[in-house]
Chain A
Amino acid sequence: MEPNSRTTYSGRTRERKTKPAVLLANRVAASVITVGGISTVLAVTLVCVFLVSVAIPIFFPSKISGPELYRNETSLADEDIPLKRMMVNEYQTMSVSVTRSGELIVSHLRDGANILRRTLFGERVPNDLRFVGDVFVGGFSDGTIQTGELTFNTEYVQPEEVPSDIRAALDEGSVIFRKGVLERTRENQFRLQIVSVDINEPAELEPGASIERVDISMKLASPVIAAVSSSGTLHIKEISSRYNMMTGQTIVELFGGSFSIPSGKDKLPQFVRLAGLGDNVFLAWTDGQLIRIDARRADNMAVMEEVNLLAHDQGEITLIEFLVGKTSLVVGDDQGNVSVWFRVKPENAQTVDGAKLIRAHELEPIPGKVSAFSASGLSRQIAVADDRGTIHLYYITNRRTLGRLTESTLAGTVYGVTLSPKDDGLFAWGPNGYHKWDLDIPHPEINLQQVFGKVWYEGYNGPEHVWQSSSGTDDFEPKYGLIPLIFGTIKATIYSLLFGVPLAILAALYTSEIMHPSLRAKVKPTIEMMASLPSVVLGFLAALVIAPAVEDHVPALLATLVTIPFALLLGAHLWQLLSHDLATKLKHFRIPAMLLSLWVGLKLAGGLGAWMEHYFFLEDIKLWLSTREGSGTGGWMILLMPLSGIFVIYANGRWITPLLKRRFATASRMHYVCVDLIRFMISTLLAFLLAWLVSSLLVVAGLDPRGSYIDTYVQRNALIVGFIMGFAIIPIIYTLCEDALGAVPESLRSASLGAGATPWQTATRIIIPTAASGFFSAVMIGFGRAVGETMIVLMAAGNTALMEWNMFNGFRTLSANIAVELPEAVKDSTHYRMLYLAALTLFVMTFVLNSLAETVRQRFRKRAFEL
């Protein structure tokens, strides 16, 4: 082994072995940096993983466990099956059932024991009994009706009032106590739930007749009842009760009208259903006949329409019930078909009130005859049971079958089913007792079809893409369709790319290939610096400065699309008139001259705008847009002018210029330049005429542009967003294009110029083809920027989730939607997760665009390197 050190000629001892500290530092640094680096990269992937982990649970399948059986062997008479009403309390400790004959049975949902059994109306047995929520009404043979309320009441019992044996039993779970159910809460309080029944005084409806069918609905505060008597009369009455202080009695008064059920029906209707707010009454027979009666004015009721509820004209209707909100009807028949009906307002409705009852949803059929039913009080979720012991759990709007439960012991004898108040449990009562299923379906309303497909919401004329996450009313159904938001995002992006991309690419081409390098050194950083301009500033300017200013100058703004290119070309043709020497001397004035022609273009736009407004737009373009008056020629011109301009330029380059080149091959420069100017003027005129001609033809063919890409003007619109967001993405596209042009090897450029090509020829034939993929990736990255931009669209796009291409109205993008709604969304709610899904969609969109751009760019770099 060599000695660790030896004397050198300098006399210093030289360490030949590395100090341990250095080695240690080296190793520590290596591990810290490796671990740090890798974990950063992992942390970055966390973003995506986290978004997915929050968004994905909305698509999880439903989890249903059970059943658990609480034995209860109460037997019911056949005519009492199914129950008129079955409900359980919030804590799922007690159930309340009401039979057709008005018997109330309260059971404890732990041991199945009955707590209470009594009749609702004393000795009186109703002919019909109906519930809406907690409120009920019964109709009697003596021509009276009687209303009441059945609720769960909660009270807290003082600890000292609870006997010790019950205290001990409470450790196991709930206990029957004072005709109710006692529980110990987590805060160590004693919570007693009891059923309370309030019955109002009977009210006479039709003396001498028997009330056969009844229904009740709540109109604001006071209930409205519908009743059919044995005489074939339909009564609609609003009930007002007054409490008399003197006598201590409640006086019930009825206001309303009556209506004779049209003759031709041999029997009384089996079903009477009163819509929410009492505006419509549906009378239905088991053979599927339904008549809809307008009851908005009780003294003037009329039949609106007759509908056949049966799908194939066979079988008979066994169930007609309302969903929450009392607008949609669920119809079931003995074949097991379940369908949902609601009123829509189509344009061609034949009815007097313009509404039409239609079958909107057909749900998965249930094997047996539809009998018991329960609708959730929170959502469009229902449970339907048949006579063979099958229970289906549906979500109406997306027609999802959330669960198919079969229990043989329930066959033929399902007394009733009910969803628990929080939709987290399903109860079915049969001869063996209560069956309980635990439901874990946090997002029943969401499936892929709902998010990305058209959905038929209640009251809509047909399936549509809708995003509407909140509203003022309670029974509002949130509508989570992402398509309108994606549409808005794409609309914003397209309009801004249309404006930004050409400008950015042309400007990059000019700075890189034609401009003097010293000037380029000033222009490039200026444009680059704009990339860091906060978008909130641009959004503020767009919405509060530009939008109001543009509003008064719409035609002029549209005219700039034509006049600015025209003015520039005119300037170029005039510049050509300068002799070669003069042009060389004045070359520093070329850019100011361009500036001047821009100014001329703006001035021309003012004139052309006023002229167009006068001739095409009835003097006021906003009025012209919002009405359908006047001809559509001007509208087509807006679209066709740029197109015909492009066509004419193309035609010139393709056919006219080569022709002139041959024709004037020997002409003097001045001569040709003048010819060129004339050619340009004629071309311009031709372009205009062409646009006008095609527009007129389109109008003659009966096409009006209004309603498509142009329509009613809104102050904050796609045009404004396109302009300002285009402006926002110019710097990034410009920089990347400029870099791509700069990456083209100098040798190519020099060779081309050396071979006698002009800078323009070099640029178009050598440089652009080489840099084209760089341009592509620049545009893709610009695209990605525009897709994710938030503040500008939030401030300047008006934020209404519309699906129209109209460039004069607003939209709502994914990003703006997140910014507006996420702060208010409750954590882990459907809304919250949907917004995460929106964010994920945004993430995926930009990810795809960026990956595309990145791959192309890598390839481009490699090729540029090889050249």
Chain B
Amino acid sequence: MMDSPEIPPSSTTPPARRRVSSPTSSVISRAEPALWFTGGAMVLCMVMILTLLGFVFYNGARTFWPVPIVEVTLHDGTKHMGEVTRRSVFIPSEERLEGIPDASRKMVEDAEGLANRKLIRTGNFRLTGEHFNWVADFETAPDGVAEPEWAVLLERLTWGRFYGFPVSFKIGDEIVAEGPQATWTQFNNYHEEVRKRWHRRKALEKKDIGKINHAMEKLRLNVREVELAEGKDSEAYQQAAAAIVEPMDVLQTKYDTLVKEIQALDQENDRFVMTLRTASGQEADIKVADVVRAYPANRLGLGEKVSIYLSRWAEFLTDEPREANSEGGVWPAIFGTVMMTLIMALLVSPIGVLSALYLREYAKAGPLVSTVRIAINNLAGVPSIVFGVFGLGFFCYILGGSIDEVFFAEKLPAPTYGTGGILWAALTLALLTLPVVIVATEEALAAVPNSMREGSYACGASKWQTIKRIVLPRAMPGVMTGMILAMARGAGEVAPLMLVGAVKLAPELPFDSFAPFFHLERSFMHLGFHIYDLGFQSQNSEAAKPMVYTTTFLLITIIFLLNILGIGIRARLKNKFKGSAV
């Protein structure tokens, strides 16, 4: 391939060598422009990668930091109060510039028709019908931007954020405090206590009532089972139906007591009400129980800011989502992602290792094995969505459908396993990541020097003994690497999950206190799907954006950690083998 016509045939005497080292040709052959071209491509790639990561990390880390609340007064006296979300430059239309004082108008004219504006998160959706407001600089009255001392931000269970000034605090009908300072103190006095009651109420509702519902459902299913087996006219059915009446009553009584208890807690909580005034002067009564977190943003010291920041992170990591996923936490999604990935790893590693062992240690090299290898490499390139399609058709509909018919006939036509669920998602992803594990394991097995196998055989060990005691332990780090890389790939895949079980809001975790504890048929939440859903399906996408950034931040962190772990193990493995005899 290296056809160099300049090289003279060796038989003749070489001509006198001409030294060509003129500065010109040296400059040309160094090809500095070409180097810069390739180098520029590399630098550009790195810049893009670092910008992207930096952008995601910056936005993800910044979101929960409490920012000051600003109050903007417009020329016409309208006031907007809230947090500044972002700023941009725009070209205002002629109509918007009408009726604006000349000074402001000149500001726009000086900037060649451009104007700055900021997006203010004003909250108070129930009063204004808006979550956000764009405010242009030229619309703002002179000295119209202030950071009022007593502006308070409330994060609520429903209706989004509230920005306002504390006015008074009521317990029952009695006003116990007036004025911002006193109201705020009273609020802080009672907030924790009220929230405790609220948590207690929630626990009752979720755990205790959940238990009763579960028991009732079980009784009903028993009857249904008898009905399916014996028919509705049969005696067995009548007996079964009669047998559950009494336990049902007992459960119903328990249920009623719990409901009463909840009502009592609610009543107690409803007595605590804080009245706030918005920037535009409207007053609103807000139940203390509805307030998740509140702080006077402009009075915070650094320590308080840090503690709010951390408490938001804690809520994000451990709590359930609320407000159509745009607030609260992502605990179910974290749990779903981790559990799905773990099940996947449990499924994929033995199968992958088994196949790799077969291919590397047992199968006789030949066209068959190389075909299989090509097939496996090919499988690695099959689009993930195709696996999703396969998973839906084969696992959910065919396998799941059959399981339902055999074991869960009493629940039909509502499917149990015959629809997307965490098991099917894990199986689908296991298939998807199988090539990763097989290839990595094979590489690790191949890296075990043959001399070690031969030594083992020479000592009289059987093949399995050799594999078990010599080959596998040495290959283990490689296998681990493969597994971790597979997990990293699996955790980040979203497309197939959309088909086989990831949902925007799962009512129950796939693991709970009811036997058999692991509910592999349940659909689950997933961080990646959460990002897609928040960014694209959410009604209030501007308010969901911070959440998307933090979720992205979290997902990338998890995946990068897994990757770094995998790469680290691989590096250690390489070092270990450097020293060993080959």
| In the complex, A76 has a CB within 8 A of chain B | no
- Total interface residues in chain A, CB < 8 Å: 119
Alpha-carbon separation in the docked complex, A470 to B56 (Å): 37
Q: Take A506-B37, A573-B32, A760-B34 as given contacts and tell me if A37 and B354 are in contact as well, using a CB distance cutoff of 8 Å.
A: yes
Q: Is the CB of A34 within 8 A of B362?
A: yes
Q: Take A22-B465, A851-B378 as given contacts and tell me if A506 and B41 are in contact as well, using a CB distance cutoff of 8 Å.
A: yes
Q: Take A815-B385, A843-B382, A846-B381 as given contacts and tell me if A571 and B559 are in contact as well, using a CB distance cutoff of 8 Å.
A: no
| In the complex, A594 has a CB within 8 A of chain B | yes
Q: Is the CB of B389 within 8 A of A836?
A: yes
Q: Is the CB of A791 within 8 A of B24?
A: no
| In the complex, A827 has a CB within 8 A of chain B | yes
Residues of B within 8 A of A247 (CB): none
Over the window 724-764 of chain A, the binary record of Cβ atoms lying under 8 Å from chain B Cβ atoms (1 yes, 0 no) is 00010010001000000000000000000000011111001
| In the complex, A29 has a CB within 8 A of chain B | yes
Residues of A within 8 A of B45 (CB): 503-504, 507, 527, 730, 734
| In the complex, A502 has a CB within 8 A of chain B | yes
Q: Take A536-B528, A667-B24, A788-B384 as given contacts and tell me if A727 and B389 are in contact as well, using a CB distance cutoff of 8 Å.
A: no
Interface 9-mer from A44-52, A287-295, A384-392: A44-52
Q: Pick the contact of B375 from A45, A576, A598 — CB < 8 Å? A: A45
The residue of chain B having its C-beta at the shortest distance from the C-beta of A520 within the complex is B42
SS class of chain A's interface: helix, strand, loop or mixed? helix
Residues of A within 8 A of B352 (CB): 40
| In the complex, B576 has a CB within 8 A of chain A | no
Q: Is the CB of A665 within 8 A of B390?
A: no
Q: Pick the contact of B434 from A40, A791, A850 — CB < 8 Å? A: A40
Q: Pick the contact of A665 from B24, B46, B460 — CB < 8 Å? A: B24
Over the window 27-42 of chain B, the binary record of Cβ atoms lying under 8 Å from chain A Cβ atoms (1 yes, 0 no) is 1111111111111111
Would you give the shortest CB distance from A244 to chain B, in whole angstroms? 47
| In the complex, A25 has a CB within 8 A of chain B | yes
Q: Pick the contact of A850 from B42, B381, B387, B499 — CB < 8 Å? A: B381
Would you give the shortest CB distance from B119 to chain A, in whole angstroms? 13
Alpha-carbon separation in the docked complex, A40 to B355 (Å): 7
Q: Take A836-B389, A842-B385 as given contacts and tell me if A790 and B2 are in contact as well, using a CB distance cutoff of 8 Å.
A: no
| In the complex, B103 has a CB within 8 A of chain A | no
| In the complex, A595 has a CB within 8 A of chain B | yes
Alpha-carbon separation in the docked complex, A18 to B467 (Å): 17
Q: Is the CB of B27 within 8 A of A568?
A: no
Alpha-carbon separation in the docked complex, A206 to B532 (Å): 65
Q: Is the CB of B40 within 8 A of A29?
A: no
| In the complex, B414 has a CB within 8 A of chain A | no
Q: Is the CB of B376 within 8 A of A44?
A: yes
Q: Pick the contact of A854 from B31, B37, B374, B431 — CB < 8 Å? A: B374
Residues of A within 8 A of B394 (CB): 46, 50
| In the complex, B22 has a CB within 8 A of chain A | yes
The residue of chain B having its C-beta at the shortest distance from the C-beta of A795 within the complex is B536
| In the complex, A666 has a CB within 8 A of chain B | yes
Q: Select the residue from A33, A34, A569 with max chain B CB neighbours within 10 A.
A: A33
| In the complex, A132 has a CB within 8 A of chain B | no
Q: Is the CB of B44 within 8 A of A534?
A: no
| In the complex, B314 has a CB within 8 A of chain A | no
Q: Is the CB of B36 within 8 A of A666?
A: no
| In the complex, A54 has a CB within 8 A of chain B | yes
Q: Is the CB of A758 within 8 A of B31?
A: yes
Alpha-carbon separation in the docked complex, A781 to B382 (Å): 10
Q: Is the CB of A568 within 8 A of B556?
A: no
Q: Is the CB of A769 within 8 A of B362?
A: no
Q: Take A30-B463, A661-B24, A788-B382 as given contacts and tell me if A839 and B358 are in contact as well, using a CB distance cutoff of 8 Å.
A: no
Q: Is the CB of A598 within 8 A of B535?
A: no
| In the complex, B274 has a CB within 8 A of chain A | no
Q: Is the CB of B44 within 8 A of A564?
A: yes
| In the complex, A668 has a CB within 8 A of chain B | yes
Alpha-carbon separation in the docked complex, A329 to B338 (Å): 59
Q: Is the CB of B358 within 8 A of A594?
A: no
Q: Is the CB of B498 within 8 A of A823?
A: yes
Q: Is the CB of B34 within 8 A of A540?
A: no
Q: Take A511-B42, A781-B381 as given contacts and tell me if A534 and B376 are in contact as well, using a CB distance cutoff of 8 Å.
A: no
Over the window 20-35 of chain A, the binary record of Cβ atoms lying under 8 Å from chain B Cβ atoms (1 yes, 0 no) is 0011011001101110
Would you give the shortest CB distance from B568 to chain A, in whole angstroms? 11
Q: Is the CB of A506 within 8 A of B532?
A: no
Q: Is the CB of B535 within 8 A of A537?
A: no
Interface 9-mer from B175-183, B475-483, B486-494: B486-494
| In the complex, B204 has a CB within 8 A of chain A | no
Q: Is the CB of B354 within 8 A of A40?
A: yes
Over the window 352-387 of chain B, the binary record of Cβ atoms lying under 8 Å from chain A Cβ atoms (1 yes, 0 no) is 101101110111000000001011111111111111
Would you give the shortest CB distance from B164 to chain A, in whole angstroms? 30
The residue of chain A having its C-beta at the shortest distance from the C-beta of B488 within the complex is A532
Q: Pick the contact of A849 from B372, B381, B485, B545 — CB < 8 Å? A: B381
| In the complex, B555 has a CB within 8 A of chain A | yes
Residues of B within 8 A of A843 (CB): 382-383, 386
Residues of B within 8 A of A510 (CB): 35, 38-39, 41-42
The residue of chain B having its C-beta at the shortest distance from the C-beta of A538 within the complex is B52
Q: Is the CB of B37 within 8 A of A666?
A: no
Q: Is the CB of A788 within 8 A of B25?
A: no
Alpha-carbon separation in the docked complex, A659 to B357 (Å): 62
Would you give the shortest CB distance from B26 to chain A, in whole angstroms? 8
| In the complex, A159 has a CB within 8 A of chain B | no
The residue of chain A having its C-beta at the shortest distance from the C-beta of B377 within the complex is A854
| In the complex, B279 has a CB within 8 A of chain A | no
Alpha-carbon separation in the docked complex, A761 to B2 (Å): 13
Alpha-carbon separation in the docked complex, A544 to B548 (Å): 10
Would you give the shortest CB distance from A777 to chain B, in whole angstroms? 11
Q: Pick the contact of B462 from A26, A523, A527, A823 — CB < 8 Å? A: A26
Q: Is the CB of B24 within 8 A of A672?
A: yes
Q: Is the CB of B467 within 8 A of A37?
A: no
Alpha-carbon separation in the docked complex, A727 to B386 (Å): 22
Q: Is the CB of B393 within 8 A of A50?
A: yes
Residues of A within 8 A of B379 (CB): 44, 47
Q: Is the CB of A523 within 8 A of B42?
A: yes
Residues of A within 8 A of B73 (CB): none
Q: Pick the contact of A822 from B36, B392, B528 — CB < 8 Å? A: B392
Residues of A within 8 A of B467 (CB): 29
Q: Pick the contact of B390 from A23, A29, A50, A511 — CB < 8 Å? A: A50
| In the complex, A413 has a CB within 8 A of chain B | no
Q: Pick the contact of A795 from B47, B388, B491, B532 — CB < 8 Å? A: B532
| In the complex, A689 has a CB within 8 A of chain B | no
Residues of A within 8 A of B23 (CB): 667-669, 672
Alpha-carbon separation in the docked complex, A680 to B495 (Å): 48
Q: Within B375-420, which residues are at the interface with A (CB < 8 Å)?
A: 375-390, 392-394, 397
Across the A-B interface, the 10 shortest Cβ-Cβ residue pairs: A788-B383, A37-B358, A534-B492, A506-B41, A669-B23, A572-B36, A790-B495, A510-B38, A36-B354, A29-B464
List 17 extra interface pairs beyond A525-B567, A565-B40, A842-B386, CB under 8 A: A41-B372, A504-B41, A571-B36, A572-B36, A591-B43, A594-B43, A597-B40, A598-B40, A666-B22, A730-B45, A788-B382, A788-B386, A790-B384, A790-B494, A819-B388, A850-B381, A851-B374
Jot down 8 A-B pairs with beta carbons below 8 A, ordered by A: A41-B372, A506-B42, A541-B52, A667-B23, A758-B31, A790-B495, A818-B499, A849-B381
Q: B residues bordering A, Cβ < 8 Å?
A: 1-2, 22-49, 52, 55-56, 351-352, 354-355, 357-359, 361-363, 372, 374-390, 392-394, 397, 431, 434, 460, 462-465, 467-468, 485, 488-489, 491-495, 498-499, 528-529, 531-532, 535-536, 541, 545, 548, 552, 555-556, 559-560, 563-564, 567
Q: A residues bordering B, Cβ < 8 Å?
A: 18, 22-23, 25-26, 29-30, 32-34, 36-38, 40-41, 43-47, 50-51, 54, 502-504, 506-507, 509-511, 514-515, 523, 525-527, 529-530, 532-537, 539-541, 543-545, 564-565, 568-569, 571-573, 575-576, 590-591, 594-595, 597-598, 657, 660-661, 664-669, 672-673, 676, 680, 727, 730, 734, 757-761, 764, 766, 769-770, 781, 784-785, 787-791, 794-795, 815, 818-819, 822-823, 827, 835-836, 839, 842-843, 846-847, 849-851, 853-854
